[in-house]
Structure 1
Amino acid sequence: MTTTDSMARTRDAILRAAATALRTHERAGMADIAAAAGVGRATLYRHFANREDLLLELGRFAAEESIRVLDDARIDDVPVTTAITRLTRALLTTGREFWVVSSHRPQLWPEEEEVGVRLRALATRGQADGLLRGDLAADHLAALHGSLIIGALSVPPLSELGIEDATDIIVKLYLEGARA
């Protein structure tokens, strides 16, 4: 293993621990994050100059993770209804780990914009297949789907559901409300 690989793994572990620490206590400081990551403060500061740098990188990391889980879900390789379920589950899973990041910065990363592109492409494909209604623009259907996912991440009692239950509810509501 190279030093670069080791540093990348440490960085990823710190970012995941930071997300966990921030979910537990939104104002978690660098000492709390270092403890959660199981690293010394010096190691943490070698990777991130300050809390703001860490939060900025955490936002980017969360966006990259969202794209990674969507790639793993292979939504383009399956029928639309299966793709909607896979996309929803993937984003809920990543969102539950990293949702706290959204409250720390207003800008979107290109990867986050890519999530929207994939939602729109799936809605367009669903309309082309005759599964989703055509009287609404694909952009609107995609925004509604994304809003349902965000609601399940942030609004009780939906945010208290398990991933599978939340996925089932979102997919059913989206498909029943968007069906042609």
Structure 2
Amino acid sequence: MRMREKIIEAALRRLNEDPAASMADLAEAAGISRATLHRHFAGRDELIDEIGTQALDRWEAALDATGVDAAAASADPEVHSATVRALLEVFADLAHEHGWSLTFAAAESYPHLQERSDRLEEREMLLYAAAQRSGVLRADLPVRWISNTVYGICVTARESLRRGDVARRDVARLMAETFLTGTGARP
């Protein structure tokens, strides 16, 4: 593993534990000096930008791997249901790995990251809208509400994992059951 990747991985683990971790804390987590950290990242902003970029890369990969675009173009409720469940399963892992990125308060100060995040959310919302039309998800809820609910469940998963409240193996099931109970179409 290259040093830069090692630093990012260690910094993310540390930020997941302590969102206020300083650059000295992040260097310590990576087992390097602050000087070495600064040779790879000019400052906290550059490191945070890279972590944010990687989180968005993982989100985009999740959308691609689960076939969100094809599912959004489909009218088949079984496709919608399977895709939503698959997406939540991937999000369970992302909530654990990139949990800090979910609630990074200053994300708006990175406009290119915010713009990309908005584009990815739009792709995801097309799936939810299609699932509403096919009867998988409730049609009486605004689609952004549904998207924000998924986001909230990801934050809940992150916090539950961080605190040890749930086993990692149970997170995807809990996310899907919670989401579909609240936003799933009613019989």
TM-score scaled by length of structure 2: 0.73
- For structure 2, the residue ranges without an aligned partner over 5 or more in a row are 72-78
| Corresponding position: 1:91 with 2:91 | yes
Instruction: Indicate which of 10, 30, 35 corresponds to 1:17.
Output: 10
Change beyond 3 A, Cα 1:13–1:110:
farther
Deviation, 1:85, is 1.6
CA contact (8 A) 2:63 2:87 kept: yes
One-letter code of the match for 2:158? L
* Whole-angstrom CA distance in 1 between matches of 2:144 and 2:164: 25
CA deviations 1:60-90 (Å, max 9, x no partner) are 3222222223323334456112211221122
CA contact (8 A) 1:55 1:104 kept: no
Change beyond 3 A, Cα 1:83–1:26:
same
CA contact (8 A) 1:73 1:86 kept: yes
Instruction: Indicate which of 22, 34, 52 corresponds to 2:45.
Output: 52
Q: How many pairs does the alignment contain? A: 173
Deviation, 1:156, is 7.8
Of structures 1 and 2, the one with the larger relative CO (CA 8 A, separation 6+) is: 2
What RMSD over aligned residues (CA atoms) do the two structures have, in Å? 3.0
SS in 1 for 2:98: helix
CA contact (8 A) 2:4 2:40 kept: yes
* Whole-angstrom CA distance in 1 between matches of 2:90 and 2:10: 20
TM-score scaled by length of structure 1: 0.75
| Counterpart for residue 122 of structure 1 | 127
* Whole-angstrom CA distance in 2 between matches of 1:149 and 1:30: 26
Change beyond 3 A, Cα 1:149–1:25:
closer
Deviation, 1:40, is 5.1
Deviation, 1:12, is 2.8
CA contact (8 A) 2:24 2:34 kept: yes
SS in 2 for 1:109: helix
One-letter code of the match for 1:112? S
CA deviations 1:8-65 (Å, max 9, x no partner) are x433332111111223444434344334335554442122112233223322322222
* Whole-angstrom CA distance in 1 between matches of 2:155 and 2:16: 16
CA contact (8 A) 2:17 2:162 kept: no
Alignment map for 1:1-180 (pairs within 5 Å) = 9-39=2-32, 41-76=34-69, 79-101=79-101, 102-103=103-104, 105-107=106-108, 109-154=114-159, 160-177=165-182, 178-180=184-186
SS in 2 for 1:135: coil
One-letter code of the match for 1:118? R
CA contact (8 A) 2:69 2:123 kept: no
